[in-house]
């Protein structure tokens, strides 16, 4: 009873909190609060996309940040050539990320387990080193974007609040679309491949094809987060697609609770809040965060969502 209820209540609370933030943000710290929330939502989109693979397809990708970086570079490269309209940049970011996902997914999905992890890492690093070699677009130093994308020639998202609502809308659409996908026949087959791919193949389903479609969808959502990140920071860098960023996304999924979608959002919020707080204490904040993550994995099965569920059950029994 608690788990089905949490699946309804938790997402509602999350999105209501994001929707209310611009209204309750303190006057002196409004810019800081909105910027932090925008970062949370952008990385939450990428984490939800990764959760489709990890939580529902048992496909642990260590190269997911490549999609984010490709989406960001699509915006930056177009802007460098004078094309600064979202009507062009957004489709370009999505298509570029999905094409990369399709091309690499065909190869990656011929492997399983740790081999899949390693080959996604290899392709992610290939994308990273390709970006560092793009001297006309900044190379290692990255590329500065003069201004955020226009919308049909109109500067609709120059204001921070307007851009906040754009990112909020994208996260809500991503979550609802992913939830509908998981609940569909496609999602049920994908979950079946997670549990027993051999049985699903015996039943007549093309396991590789279903996984490839999921991989391409996740790549497209990663490209969307890259498009938003490039516009938010007005800067693109090879660091966006490094293996460390892919590791951050996996941590977000595990921390929140894999296989729940809203857990990926909770994990993104928790990770970035912890980073913000701990980095204020010491520059070596990862040394503190690492043991905390280990404790969550050991004692909170199902991540933070699992921890809350266990506590709620304990209260009810008490």
pLDDT digits (tens, 9 = 90+) for 100-135: 999 999 999 999 889 999 999 999 999 999 999 999
Does the pTM of the predicted model rise above 0.85? yes
pLDDT number for residue 78 = 95
CA atoms within a 13 Å half-sphere pointing along the CA-CB vector of 87: 8
pLDDT number for residue 293 = 79
pLDDT number for residue 316 = 64
pLDDT number for residue 203 = 87
CA atoms within a 13 Å half-sphere pointing along the CA-CB vector of 197: 15
Q: What is the mean pLDDT of residues 141-151?
A: 90
Mean model confidence pLDDT for the chain: 89
- Topology given in CATH for the domain delimited by 2-317: ABC transporter involved in vitamin B12 uptake, BtuC (1.10.3470)
Q: What is the mean pLDDT of residues 239-255?
A: 92
Q: What is the mean pLDDT of residues 216-224?
A: 96
Mean pLDDT check: name the lowest of 56-70, 205-219, 257-271, 292-306.
Answer: 292-306
pLDDT number for residue 92 = 96
Residues 297/300/303/309 CA torsion (nearest 10 deg): 170
Of residues 308 and 23, more confidence is placed in 23
Contact of 34 with 176, CB cutoff 8 Å: no
Contact of 187 with 177, CB cutoff 8 Å: no
User: Quick one: what percent of the chain has pLDDT higher than 70?
Assistant: 94
Output the CA torsion sign for 90, 272, 158, 161: positive
- For 41-55, write each residue's pLDDT tens digit: 999 999 999 999 999
Q: What is the mean pLDDT of residues 179-189?
A: 94
Output the CA torsion sign for 122, 241, 303, 195: negative
Spell out the residues 6+ positions from residue 251 whose beta carbon is closer than 8 angstroms to its own: 267, 271, 293
pLDDT number for residue 198 = 87
User: Quick one: what percent of the chain has pLDDT higher than 90?
Assistant: 63
């Amino acid at each position: 009873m608690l788990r089905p209820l949490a699946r309804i209540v938790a997402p509602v609370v999350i999105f209501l909190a994001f929707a209310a933030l611009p209204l309750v943000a303190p006057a002196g710290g409004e810019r800081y609060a909105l910027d932090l929330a925008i970062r949370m939502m952008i990385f939450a989109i990428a984490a939800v996309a990764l959760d489709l693979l990890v939580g529902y397809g048992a496909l642990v990708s260590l190269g997911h940040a490549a999609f984010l970086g490709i989406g960001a570079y699509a915006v930056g490269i177009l802007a460098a050539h004078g094309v600064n309209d979202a009507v062009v940049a957004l489709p370009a970011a999505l298509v570029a990320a999905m094409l990369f996902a399709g091309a690499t997914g065909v190869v990656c999905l011929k492997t399983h387990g740790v081999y899949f992890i390693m080959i996604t890492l290899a392709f992610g690093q290939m994308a990273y080193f390709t970006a560092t070699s793009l001297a006309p677009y900044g190379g290692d130093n990255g590329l500065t974007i003069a201004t955020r994308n226009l919308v049909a020639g109109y500067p609709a998202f120059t204001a921070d609040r307007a851009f906040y609502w754009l990112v909020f809308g994208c996260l809500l659409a991503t979550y609802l679309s992913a939830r509908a996908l998981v609940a569909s026949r496609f999602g049920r087959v994908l979950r079946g491949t997670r549990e027993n791919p051999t049985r699903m193949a015996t039943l007549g389903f093309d396991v590789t094809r279903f996984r490839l479609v999921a991989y391409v969808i996740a790549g497209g959502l990663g490209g969307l987060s890259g498009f938003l990140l490039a516009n938010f920071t007005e800067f693109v860098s090879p660091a966006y697609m490094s293996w460390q960023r892919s590791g951050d996304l996996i941590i977000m999924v595990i921390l929140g609770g894999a296989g729940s979608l809203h857990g990926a959002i909770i994990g993104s919020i928790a990770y970035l809040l912890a980073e913000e707080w701990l980095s204020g204490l010491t520059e070596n904040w990862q040394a503190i965060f690492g043991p905390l993550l280990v404790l969550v994995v050991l004692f909170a099965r199902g991540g933070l969502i699992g921890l809350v569920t266990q506590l709620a059950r304990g209260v009810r029994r008490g």
